[in-house]
Chain A
Amino acid sequence: MLYREAGQFKSTYAEDQQIFPIRQDRIALAVFLAFALLVVPAIGNQYWLGALLTPFLIFSLAALGLNILTGYAGQLSLGTAAFMAVGAFMAYNFVLRVPGIPILLAFVLAGICAAAVGIVFGLPSLRIKGFYLAVATLACQFFVLWALQRFGWFSNHSTSGVITAQQIVILGYAFDTPARKYLLTLGVVAVMALAAKNLMRSETGRAFMAVRDMDVAASVIGIPMMRTKLLAFAISSFYCGVAGALHAFCYLGTVEPEAYSLDLSFRILFMIIIGGVGSILGAFLGAAFITLFPIFLNLASSWVNEFFGVEISHAVVSNLESIIFGGLIIFFLIVEPQGLARLWQITKEKLRLWPFPH
């Protein structure tokens, strides 16, 4: 009833080509964004903003970056965390070494550095395909962390090799509280998500998908293979690089290179698979599942404890959480092998007919 697009006629090409062609989608998105921008910072406390939402947004952005490469262009990557590390460390260095640089410019430059690294390690994709391609990005993962630790320049010769993100000041306004950092993150993520959504409907995005579906066929119809694949690596790494810069500046503050270990790369890969490969929304849903769900389980088990008044050994609880989490991943995949985003799509299909399915 509410979600019915019948009667929305498009009379111009511009209308037909909007990002969100359905009015209800536009309204929902506007309401959702307004809520996230205006209401959440007002009602959210530090726990919500600083410990749950900000990391969720940052990991969503990283997942989005990986989704562009893996989900849309079909190139498997296990080096996401390394690109984030490049972003984090380079943003720190730009702010440190270029006096008076605007912080957003530093983020963009850091993203460009990550993109450059992405292009270099993307080169083997011209010859190697599928799971085998993972070798290039794995090499990148280990090499970048090694280099960050080995060469003191990256951490300004700190003895332990950690960096401490500088204060974020934009036009004289300091982003120093969790709420402000959340807003900055939200702004960056919203703009970049919109850009990605748009990019994926453009010629470039369609070229990505053609390469994903079958690269031989794509090159036969005249899609330049080298340009397209490397562009995918560059854009994806750019997103991850910016996510890394946000991760250091808006979330953790002080980071060591090990924060960007292979473990994190895998977790971001989990996000896009569970959320939905090749879907912008999927990146967000997947990030929510992987980052927030274990916390929810942890909270839930403490309620169970309180409710029943029995204290179960914490080791047992922690291990049970891990088992339940794993079990749920399997369960969700069996219910919907194409990820949570697909589940949402099915819901929308149903909503179109609801409440009169016949």
Chain B
Amino acid sequence: MELIFFIEVLAGGLLAGVMYALVALGFVLIYKASGVFNFAQGSMVFFAALTFVSLTERGWNFWLALAATLAVMVLLGVATERVVLRPLVNQAPITLFMATIGLAFVLEGLSQLLWGSQPHGLELGIPDVPMEWLSRKWNVNISQFDLFAAFVAGALVAVLALLFQKTRIGRALRAVADDHQAALAVGIPLQHIWAIVWAVAGFVALVAGVMWGVRNGVQYALTFVALKALPVLILGGFESILGAIIGGLIIGAGEKLAEVYLGPYVGGGIESWFAYVIALLFLLVRPEGLFGEKHIDRV
């Protein structure tokens, strides 16, 4: 009984971690290619999910709405590159970070201006209920939807890995990530690459928004999911796609186990800060995150 409960908590935590990783992926993509910590990622998640759900509620077909939202996100990526990033090329990271904060304000205002502030429900037709045979046989509750989310996250990572490793664009992306100047020197069009990365990040935001939207409903609070991704990012390393997934799993499992087994002794509600403690412990051993790039300081 105790063991089964432990397994349940662990599995629940790992699956929650997958949901965090979905959000963290968007941050990683943009950081990897342009060195920007994109504060607006949470707003992008909200904007994408709200656009998608509003279109479906207006009677659009699921795939049509998905395609239309994707188009909007690509457009947004291109526009961001044009209006925000291009004039700020070669500025300090903190300036770019602040610019994305401005972008977050714009996006949040824009989404509510277009679609209103009322929350929406979202169902994908995959019930968020325990799988019956598992609970009957082992008394373990694992939700179908959670498994679906894990599958989506896995597929997303696989697609992104393929994109980065096997395509021309991917090679260019990696080159830009390594060294902007050198990439420019060998003739890689930096601006195109950035627009592509932001568009891909928009796609990831859409996926994350839909998955979280099923959980929480599509409403402004979706922007808060970015907070859940923060410890994951820091732990996994800002530059690593694999790190986002592994980091998500560690944080998810760690904070759930802590909440269930340590929480009752200190009054509960500890998972808000415990995630950061986990990340901190790992960082003390590896200061650049689990999969971050090691920097060697030279004077």
Contact = CB atoms under 8 A, between A and B. Distances in A.
Direct touch of chains A and B (CB < 8 A): yes
A28 interface: no
B245 interface: no
A124 B288 CA distance: 13
B94 A329 contact: no
Interface in B248-299: 266-267, 269-270, 272-273, 276-277, 279-280, 283-284, 287-289, 292, 297-299
Contact of B280 (A124, A217, A270, A329): A124
A135 B234 contact: yes
A330 interface: yes
A333 B88 contact: yes
A138 B94 CA distance: 17
Interface string B89-133: 001101101110111111111101100110000000000000000
A218 to B, nearest CB: 9
Interface in A122-179: 124, 127-129, 131-132, 134-136, 138-139, 141-143, 146, 149-150
Contact of A330 (B99, B269, B272, B292): B99
Contact of B109 (A139, A217, A322, A337): A322
A227 to B, nearest CB: 20
Interface residues of A, number: 45
Contacts of A141: 273
A273 B284 contact: no
A149 B272 CA distance: 13
A334 interface: yes
B269 A146 contact: yes
A315 B99 contact: no
B112 A325 contact: no
B102 A333 contact: yes
B98 A329 contact: yes
Contacts of A316: 113
A142 B272 contact: yes
Contact of A327 (B98, B106, B231, B277): B106
A345 interface: no
B177 interface: no
B238 interface: yes
Contacts of B108: 322, 326
A325 B108 CA distance: 11
B261 to A, nearest CB: 17
Contacts of A330: 83-84, 99, 102-103, 106
For the complex of A and B, the 8 pairs showing the least CB-CB separation, nearest first, are A326-B105, A329-B102, A322-B109, A142-B273, A139-B276, A326-B106, A323-B109, A330-B102
Interface of A: 124, 127-129, 131-132, 134-136, 138-139, 141-143, 146, 149-150, 214-217, 220, 262, 266, 270, 273-274, 277, 315-316, 319-323, 325-330, 333-334, 337-338
Given A138-B276, A142-B276, 6 more contacts: A132-B234, A216-B297, A322-B105, A327-B102, A329-B101, A330-B103
24 contacts: A128-B284, A131-B234, A132-B283, A136-B276, A139-B273, A139-B280, A142-B276, A146-B270, A146-B272, A214-B299, A216-B297, A216-B298, A315-B117, A316-B113, A319-B110, A320-B113, A322-B108, A323-B105, A326-B104, A329-B98, A329-B101, A330-B106, A333-B98, A333-B102
